[in-house]
């Protein structure tokens, strides 16, 4: 059996409640008793919770996670990877959301101040420099899928550009020349990279870009559904529609079924992320596979390495993606 709070109280010759007050810093404790408790904790190696860990090492044992949202399959998979790695590294997690707002991001950071040892931030609509300006001074930061503008950012992302380039090239190889594209949020770094991949792939095969085929979206089913109706109403409608994420692509499929458009005979459809439900869509969705769970675990390991070694060289790691082609294309 491990060391208990009773053991600490006995060795320090104080009550259990005094030990608790010292560990949690909830009430004033006489300095002489505090010293005895701290000495007993150190000698016995008692670390029952983050407060005790802070007492011994001046660390909280916590990692802060700030994401745009926590709903949806992408973020669920990402957090699964984060949680697995954090448990292996013996850190607890504090999770908050920014809702793509700098004000919300700042509030989230303030709420975590002095409660975590480092921050993992995914802010696709901001740059790393902008996030760093909002963060508490000196706190270690690892960025995920954020606009990397610093010379030596500490972060991890995946190949948004290359994935969409490859998927566009696939559709062209199937004979498609009019390819509709539903973007993600216009200010989001990942959405811009995916649009850039689409445009470059068309350019490289000599297909002229048609702006009426590119419609703004929001990474959700509603805009996927609505933008598809707009594309279908064109005098010369596309023969394929690329959505910037799988959630939007599900909306595309729904609109096509409602309009009686055969998939893929009359309209091919592709997504991005390859979340688990993509394979169960009707018909199963072709998508760019992103190693989302690996992204989460790799980000945690990068941050914990930073926490263990202040001299670790800054680096930007890019995870590869792959095409997962199914019945929609």
List, as own/partner pairs, every contact residues 258-261 make where C-beta atoms lie below 8 angstroms and the sequence separation is at least 24, other chains included: 259/229, 259/232, 261/232
pTM for the predicted model, two decimal places: 0.80
What CATH number matches the domain at 160-289, 3.30.2310.20, 3.90.550.10, 3.40.50.2300, 3.40.190.10? 3.40.50.2300
CATH 3.40.50.2300: which residues of the chain? 62-157+293-315, 160-289
CATH 1.10.260.40: which residues of the chain? 5-57
Is the distance from CB of 125 to CB of 185 less than 8 angstroms?
yes
- Burial code (b: 16+ CB inside 10 Å, e: under 16) for 220-243 equals bbebbbbbbeebbeeeebbbbbbb
Angle 230-231-236 (CA atoms, 0-180°, nearest 5)? 125
Is the distance from CB of 183 to CB of 214 less than 8 angstroms?
yes
Range 62-157+293-315: architecture per CATH: 3-Layer(aba) Sandwich (3.40)
263 burial level (CB within 10 Å; 0-12, 13-18, 19+):
buried
* CA pair distance 111, 93, nearest whole angstrom: 13
Do β-strands 286-289 and 322-324 pair in parallel, antiparallel, or remain unpaired?
Answer: antiparallel
Topology at the third CATH level for domain 5-57: 434 Repressor (Amino-terminal Domain) (1.10.260)
Distance of CA 62 to the CA centre of its chain: 18
Q: What is the pLDDT along the chain (329 residues), one digit of tens a residue?
A: 577 777 888 899 887 767 777 876 656 778 888 899 889 988 988 876 555 455 444 467 789 999 999 889 999 999 999 999 988 887 889 999 998 888 899 888 888 877 888 999 999 999 999 998 888 888 889 999 998 887 767 899 999 999 999 999 999 999 999 999 999 998 899 999 999 999 999 999 999 999 999 999 999 999 999 999 999 999 999 999 999 999 999 999 999 999 999 999 999 999 999 999 999 999 999 999 999 999 999 999 999 888 877 655 667 889 999 999 999 99
């Amino acid at each position: 059996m491990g060391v208990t709070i009773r053991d600490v109280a006995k060795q320090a010759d104080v009550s259990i409640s005094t030990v608790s007050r010292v560990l949690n810093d909830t009430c004033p404790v006489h300095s002489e008793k505090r010293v005895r408790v701290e000495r007993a904790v150190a000698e016995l190696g008692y670390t029952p919770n983050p407060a005790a860990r802070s007492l011994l090492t001046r660390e909280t044992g916590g990692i802060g996670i700030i994401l745009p949202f926590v709903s949806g399959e992408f973020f669920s998979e990402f957090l699964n990877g984060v949680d697995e790695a954090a448990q292996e590294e013996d850190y607890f997690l504090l999770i908050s959301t920014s809702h793509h707002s700098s004000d919300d991001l700042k509030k989230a950071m303030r709420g975590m101040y002095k409660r975590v040892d480092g921050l993992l931030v995914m802010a696709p609509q901001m740059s790393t420099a902008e996030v760093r300006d909002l963060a508490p001074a000196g706190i270690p930061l690892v960025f995920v899928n954020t606009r990397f503008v610093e010379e030596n950012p500490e972060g991890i992302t995946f190949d948004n550009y290359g994935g969409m380039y490859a998927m566009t090239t696939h559709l062209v190889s199937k004979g498609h020349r009019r390819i509709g594209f539903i973007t993600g949020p216009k200010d989001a770094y990942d959405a811009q990279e995916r649009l850039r991949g689409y445009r470059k792939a068309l350019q490289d095969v000599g297909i002229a870009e048609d702006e009426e085929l590119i419609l703004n979206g929001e990474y959700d089913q509603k805009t996927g559904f609505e933008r598809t109706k707009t594309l279908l109403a064109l005098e010369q409608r596309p023969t394929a529609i690329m959505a910037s994420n799988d959630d939007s692509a599900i909306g595309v499929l729904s609109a096509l079924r409602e309009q009686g458009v055969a998939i893929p005979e009359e309209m091919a459809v592709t997504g991005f992320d390859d979340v688990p439900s993509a394979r169960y869509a009707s018909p199963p969705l072709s998508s760019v596979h992103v190693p989302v769970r690996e992204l989460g675990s790799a980000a945690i390991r990068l941050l914990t390495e930073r926490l263990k070694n202040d001299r670790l060289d800054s680096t930007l790691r890019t995870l590869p993606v792959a095409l997962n082609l199914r019945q929609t294309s």
